[in-house]
Structure 1
């Protein structure tokens, strides 16, 4: 693949908070531990090593061996799991929902970023070992967010009723989805591989958790990816002391609320991603996942008749930690408690809420990980590249909102000058002389001059817009071809990676897709990547 890039801030698709973070703005430094530069990992390794209990390693390794039971495991993954018992082994982690057939394309970019960072660190720290980890969000309950993917502009959807944690959902009914998917994929060799992958994942496994583990393992197992399911009693037992501080002392509620207030002082343009609750845990049992709330001195499971006294809830937590499910605030802490982790890799929205959490980690005595923005990419085929060349379009132009994109290019290619800036400057010069006259005459004349200036400037703006509109009509065919290629590469006027499913690219590239991404995406790039093949 041919690799090019564009700064994230120039894409227009990333928030001011994330752009400021990438620029290492001084105002944000209190909200993260170390910026993810290669040279900063040495200190992060030392801090995590000193702050991660050796006993946790044994629990982690045993839990992972149980989770992988019945799955075909690559030698690389098996070695990575075993290595987690060693004090010089650390993880690089990304997390994602259990989206049907991986969901949007950026699922691949997250994991590729994670694998590549682990490789980069091994090169610079040969005496340590680094394991790429995918954390499955098995306890999420937002089924409507994960029950579909897009292929060729069509929505392939799994329709069923659902409640509780999505990971426990039965895969029953996904045979009907396969019947929809199969003709859409076609009959090529690459299509046959995709059909086999879908069938083996979703029609040969009984739960969405197992299906997703199979799928991610099939795609990335050869690279040593380790897949973690946090819905595990042994792992949650390690979280109990921290859950107590949340449920009974409301530590995250107070500390994160303070952090949000401080973050808002840095810039009014920073939008808050998550707000902490007084209790950041759900009660999880028998298809139920509902919030725990405090009510009249007791603890109540929302939307149920379940109530606990403080003593009863504490006993329940110690005896059945698997029944306590962390929310979006508590889950990051859970990951860092059970894993010897150095860095979390996520999208802009994820990093935005992680930046709210550092003081909370400090109060809990848990090392705050480095935060790395995952790779983002736009993949362009050779045919699309030729279209861009023919239209004399730069890839950077395509990131503009469509009306700005069209207006800019019409101005560029028009054989007449549509920019009335010189006329506006001349007009301003004329009015400067009139304002000088007002100084020598009655001040009441000033208002009339100002009104006339506004009127004439508006007139010029109107004429410029009419001329631009006329040129658009004249160059209609060119406008259509421009918008067609932009719509191809930015479906639904959104980033390609947020709309396309990997299967669309796999149909074209086959098994070379993931190796090409692994070769082309640099986790330390710091820019949005353009890939041409």
Structure 2
């Protein structure tokens, strides 16, 4: 694969907050622990080493051993699980929803970024062990966000009436999705592999958790990926003191609210990703996952008849920690409590909300991890590359919003210069003299001169737009070819990685797809990658 790299900011697809973070804006230093550079992991290792207990390691190992029962485990993954008992072993984590058949393409990029970072750390710090972790969001309840994937421009959707945590959803009804998928796949060898993978994952497993685990393990098990399901009583038993601090002391709500306020002080243009609730836990039981709310000193589960006094709720937390499910604010803390983790790898939206959490971690007494933006990738085929070359389109061109992209290129290929900037500048110079004349004769004419200048400049703008529109019609074929290739690379005028499913590329590349990405992606590269094959 040939590799190009462009700055994230140049793409126009990343927020000001994320671009400032990547560029090490000094104003953001209070919101993270250490910047993601290879040398900064030395301090992170020491900090986590001193705070993560042997007891926590034993609980983690025991839980993972149970979770992997009946799972075909690679030698590398089995070794990694065993190494987690050792005090010199640390993790790098990414998390993702249980999207049907992995969902968007960036699912692969997140996990590969995680695997590759552990490799780099192993080379840089050979005295330690590093384990890549995929955290399955099994307790999430946003079924509509995960029940489909896109394939060749079509939405393959699993329609089912469900409630509660998605991990517990049974896989009945996915035969219809497989049929629709099979009809689109064709009959090639790679198509047969994809059908088999879907069948074994979703038709041979009873729950979405088990299906997703099988799929991720099949794709990445050989690289030692360890998959963690947080919906686990033993693991949640370690969360008990933090649940109490959140619910009864409002630690998360108070500190995150203050952090958000401080972020807004840095820049009013920073979009706030998530806002904390006074209680950041759901109650999870019998197909229900609903918010816990406080009512006049007592507690209730929203949309149910379940109620607790303060003492009853404390006992419930102590006896049944598995019933308390963290929301987007509390889940990162849970992860860092139960794992010897150094770094979280996520997309722009995830890193944005993690930047709200550092003070909450500090008040909870938990080490805050390094935050790394995952690899973002545009994959360009040889055929698409030829089209770009023939149309004289650069990488910077194709990342432009479509209207700007078309206008820019039409001006470049046109044999007529449809840019009236020089004429407008000349006009403005003429009016400078007119303002002087009005000033010297009768100042009441200044308004009339200004109005005339505005009218004439507006006329030039309108003429420029009309001529550009006419030239677009004249170069219609060229415009069509340009927009077609941009639409191929940016489906729905969005990043390819947010729209395509990995199966489209697997059809072309087969079993070489993941090894090629493993060999190419550089997690600490800090740039948007364009891969040509």
TM-score by length of 1: 0.99
1:252-272: CA deviation from partner (whole Å, max 9, x where unpaired): 000100101111000000111
Q: Secondary structure at the match of 1:254?
A: helix
Distance 2:467 2:5 in 1: 35
Q: 1:340 offset after TM fit, Å? A: 0.3
Distance 2:118 2:457 in 1: 58
1:170-222: CA deviation from partner (whole Å, max 9, x where unpaired): 01111111111111111100000000100110001000000000000000000
Aligned to 1:140: 140
The 5 A counterparts of 1:45-60 are: 45-60=45-60
Aligned to 1:388: 388
Q: Secondary structure at the match of 1:69?
A: coil
Q: 1:278 offset after TM fit, Å? A: 0.8
Distance 2:70 2:172 in 1: 20
Matched, 1:34 2:34: yes
The 5 A counterparts of 1:74-89 are: 74-89=74-89
Aligned to 2:520: 520
Aligned to 2:168: 168
Aligned to 1:25: 25
Q: Secondary structure at the match of 1:239?
A: helix
Q: Secondary structure at the match of 2:149?
A: strand
Aligned to 1:257: 257
Distance 2:255 2:390 in 1: 56
RMSD: 0.6
Q: Secondary structure at the match of 1:55?
A: helix
Q: Secondary structure at the match of 2:14?
A: coil
Gap runs ≥5 in structure 1: none
Distance 2:417 2:446 in 1: 33
Q: Number of residues paired by the alignment?
A: 533
Distance 2:124 2:160 in 1: 48
Aligned to 1:245: 245
Distance 1:169 1:470 in 2: 56
Aligned to 2:317: 317
The 5 A counterparts of 1:343-492 are: 343-492=343-492
Q: 1:380 offset after TM fit, Å? A: 0.5
Distance 1:435 1:517 in 2: 63
Q: Secondary structure at the match of 1:419?
A: coil
Aligned to 1:494: 494
Aligned to 1:215: 215
Q: 1:296 offset after TM fit, Å? A: 2.2
Aligned to 1:335: 335
Distance 1:13 1:287 in 2: 37
1:407-456: CA deviation from partner (whole Å, max 9, x where unpaired): 00000000011111111111111111112212211110111111111011
Distance 2:225 2:424 in 1: 61
Distance 2:474 2:178 in 1: 47
Distance 1:176 1:509 in 2: 26
The 5 A counterparts of 1:81-160 are: 81-160=81-160
Distance 1:313 1:47 in 2: 34
Distance 1:316 1:184 in 2: 50
Distance 2:296 2:342 in 1: 41
Distance 1:320 1:268 in 2: 42
1:453-497: CA deviation from partner (whole Å, max 9, x where unpaired): 101100111111111011101000000000000011100010000
Aligned to 2:306: 306
Q: 1:85 offset after TM fit, Å? A: 0.5
TM-score by length of 2: 0.99
Q: Secondary structure at the match of 1:41?
A: helix
Q: Runs (4+) of structure 1 moved beyond 6 Å?
A: none
My pick for the range that moved more, 25-34 or 432-441, is 432-441
Distance 1:257 1:425 in 2: 49
Gap runs ≥5 in structure 2: none
Q: 1:64 offset after TM fit, Å? A: 0.4
Distance 2:295 2:466 in 1: 64
Q: 1:156 offset after TM fit, Å? A: 0.5
Q: Secondary structure at the match of 2:316?
A: helix
1:303-340: CA deviation from partner (whole Å, max 9, x where unpaired): 10000111111111111110100000000000000000
